[in-house]
Amino acid sequence: MMRCDLTLAWKNLEHHAQAFAGFDLRTAFEQDALRADRLSQTAPHVFADLSKNHLDTATESLLQELARETGLAAHRDAMFRGERINTTEDRAAMHWLLRQPEGSVQGALAEPLAQVHATLQPLLAFAETIRADAQITDVVNIGIGGSDLGPQMAVLALQDFVIPGKRFHFVSNVDGHELAAVLKDLKTESTLFLIASKTFTTLETMTNARSALGWYKAQGGCDVSRHFAALTTNVAAAAEFGIRTTFGFWDWVGGRYSVWSPIGLTVAIAIGAQGFRNLLAGAHAMDQHFQTAPLEQNLPVRLGLLDVWYRNFLNYTSRSIAPYHSALKRLPAHLQQLEMESNGKRVDRNGHALAYGTSPVLWGEPGTNGQHAYFQMLHQGTDIVPLEFIAVKKPTHNLADHHELLLANAIAQAQALMLGQADEGGHKHFPGNRPSTFLLLDELTPASLGALIALQEHRVFVSGSVWGINSFDQWGVELGKVLAQDIHARLASGHVAGLDASTAGLLKRLR
Ligand code: F6P
């Protein structure tokens, strides 16, 4: 694989970006009647309009050339062959295998796939048992990062499919306020705690799990095997913790890619076994698209390359996500981890410092709320922030007017960003020519959500691959964890020797 900044395409893209300085979306549409068609495409469950982005046909062909020169297709194929592409942890990245139909791969992957299904069946059977158990009214997922954000996002997104009569809670923070607020409304006999942790060592999750177990016993609970289950690759640690019901999985599932694994049990209980299978099937359809569609008509590839173009050639350092569906309110948080933990890297796969930028900052809120908060900056601020709209055609409520108003606002915002308003000067001037992508789902279902999330996973793979980084490790989270142990001990002892003056000062104040 050639380093992206050493390719000919990179040089050509640099020249192209200079010539592109005068690019204006309004002129681009005037000059090319087919622009909207050429820069739109369908992928499984998702229609994407890329035409309001700062790119043209030449940009796309140069980006495609960059993909070829950096060996994107070969790297993608290596992932789908189960090669150990996560080199710093010496692991494969096979989250996609979790959504692969039973018996559908041959060779070396046949055995891991058989294990996937041998795990999925009892997991879904357990989910159905809990659904049928009227005595269990509260399910509490205790986990953090990928063991929280994916399941939480999906349960919220699929609220229309969620079984009535059960409440789903998510406790992630080590801040005891969060667990305390959940516990105060629970009864031992009607609660199921799911301890979701790939490693079963994460400080926050272990602290919350211990406190939940302590609370359960203190309230007189004596059937831990019925009221606690563990979702982890570290089955031994779960057993040591005292949990008998454990659903295991494999180190080749990254935390932020784990909603498809037993970590998704909360989702399976919420939407049922068939719903969960539909979620997997939607994601699998997107996997196939990513694997087989020509790169020019491959949506994750086009989005990932657009991310590279924006980050490295137009210097747009962030991307905003605006889901125009209130049920997708945790989607920006999930995508934040997906993009920033995967691609927030400063060295290449061999550990050499990079001479170019990587992950953009991701942020966002559901529309129309964002319009009344920070869209001001998107329209008139000094920075250009590409905005990604995600809209859903069919609502599931029957409140007259609301959905059309919602969709009208989404379209109008994309239009306003692009068109601007030239005839008013000063404070009322809108420069326009501000880029956006519009993703559209027909309906928000388990299948379409699965496809949407898999699309985002693969677009992150694409930009990470071009950048030559390892998108599947996360060494940057380790230092803080180690220092927190030291500070924790110092908070108890009061020893400040060897600390910088600021840290010592804060510690003294907090004791
Ligand atoms: O600290 C970061 C991280 O390792 C994430 O990658 C992961 O999703 C999260 O912590 C939780 O990890 P675990 O599932 O092992 O508790």
Q: For position 423, what pLDDT does the model report?
A: 73
Do residues 195 and 229 touch, judged by C-beta distance below 8 A? Answer: yes
Report the residue among 173, 199, 200, 202 best suited for mutation to probe ligand 1: largest number of ligand atoms under 8 A from its CB: 202
Question: What is the Cβ-side half-sphere exposure of residue 6, based on CA atoms within 13 angstroms?
Answer: 7
User: What's the whole-number mean pLDDT along residues 310-338?
Assistant: 98
Distance CA 142, CA 137 (A): 16
Sign of torsion, CA 106 112 116 117? positive
- Nearest C-alpha neighbor of 193 from the set 269, 125, 280: 269
Do residues 287 and 96 touch, judged by C-beta distance below 8 A? Answer: yes
Catalytic annotation present for 481: yes
Ligand 1 contact via 146 beta carbon (within 6 Å): yes
User: What's the whole-number mean pLDDT along residues 239-246?
Assistant: 95
Distance CA 482, CA 489 (A): 11
Q: Per the residue annotation, which of 204, 339, 341, 388 is the catalytic one?
A: 341
User: What's the whole-number mean pLDDT along residues 389-418?
Assistant: 97
Catalytic annotation present for 458: no
Ligand 1 contact via 355 beta carbon (within 6 Å): no
CA of 481 to the centre of ligand 1 (A): 11
Q: Considering only CA atoms, which residue is closest to atom 3 of ligand 1?
A: 145
Of the pLDDT bands very low, low, confident and very high (cuts 50, 70, 90), residue 1 is confident
For residue range 88-108, what is the model confidence (pLDDT) as tens digits?
A: 999 999 999 999 999 999 999
Of the pLDDT bands very low, low, confident and very high (cuts 50, 70, 90), residue 426 is confident
The minimum-distance atom of ligand 1 relative to the CA of 477 is 1
Q: What is the pTM of this model?
A: 0.98
Between strands 387-392 and 436-441, the pairing is: parallel
DSSP letter at 347 equals B
Catalytic annotation present for 60: no
DSSP assignment string, 400-450 = TTHHHHHHHHHHHHHHHHHH-B-SS-GGG-B-----EEEEEESS--HHHHH
Report the residue among 147, 210, 261 best suited for mutation to probe ligand 1: largest number of ligand atoms under 8 A from its CB: 147
Strand partners, 169: 140
Q: For position 237, what pLDDT does the model report?
A: 97
Residue with tokens 């509490």: 140
Q: For position 169, what pLDDT does the model report?
A: 98
Q: Per the residue annotation, which of 187, 352, 372, 488 is the catalytic one?
A: 372
Strand partners, 486: none
Ligand 1 contact via 256 beta carbon (within 6 Å): yes
Q: For position 425, what pLDDT does the model report?
A: 77
User: What's the whole-number mean pLDDT along residues 61-85?
Assistant: 98
> The tokens of 27 are what?
């002129």
Strand stretches in 315-357, DSSP E = 318-324
Q: For position 66, what pLDDT does the model report?
A: 98
Report the residue among 91, 199, 345 best suited for mutation to probe ligand 1: largest number of ligand atoms under 8 A from its CB: 199
Do residues 150 and 196 touch, judged by C-beta distance below 8 A? Answer: no
Distance CA 23, CA 25 (A): 7
Count CB-CB contacts under 10 A for residue 286: 26
Strand partners, 430: 421
Regarding the domain with residue range 95-271, which homologous superfamily does it belong to in the CATH classification?
A: Glucose-6-phosphate isomerase like protein; domain 1 (3.40.50.10490)
Q: What is the mean pLDDT of the chain?
A: 97
- Nearest C-alpha neighbor of 304 from the set 93, 451, 460: 460
For residue range 138-197, what is the model confidence (pLDDT) as tens digits?
A: 999 999 999 999 999 999 999 999 999 999 999 999 999 999 999 999 999 999 999 999
Distance CA 478, CA 202 (A): 11
DSSP assignment string, 446-474 = HHHHHHHHHHHHHHHHHHHHHHT--TT--
Distance CA 266, CA 488 (A): 32
**Considering only the top CATH level, what class is 4-69+293-468?**
alpha beta
Q: For position 263, what pLDDT does the model report?
A: 98
For residue range 259-281, what is the model confidence (pLDDT) as tens digits?
A: 999 999 999 999 999 999 999 99
Q: Considering only CA atoms, which residue is closest to atom 1 of ligand 1?
A: 477
CATH 3.40.50.10490 positions along the chain are: 4-69+293-468, 95-271
Distance CA 259, CA 256 (A): 8
Do residues 52 and 417 touch, judged by C-beta distance below 8 A? Answer: yes
Q: For position 422, what pLDDT does the model report?
A: 81
User: What's the whole-number mean pLDDT along residues 444-459?
Assistant: 98
For residue range 372-381, what is the model confidence (pLDDT) as tens digits?
A: 999 999 999 9
Count CB-CB contacts under 10 A for residue 63: 25
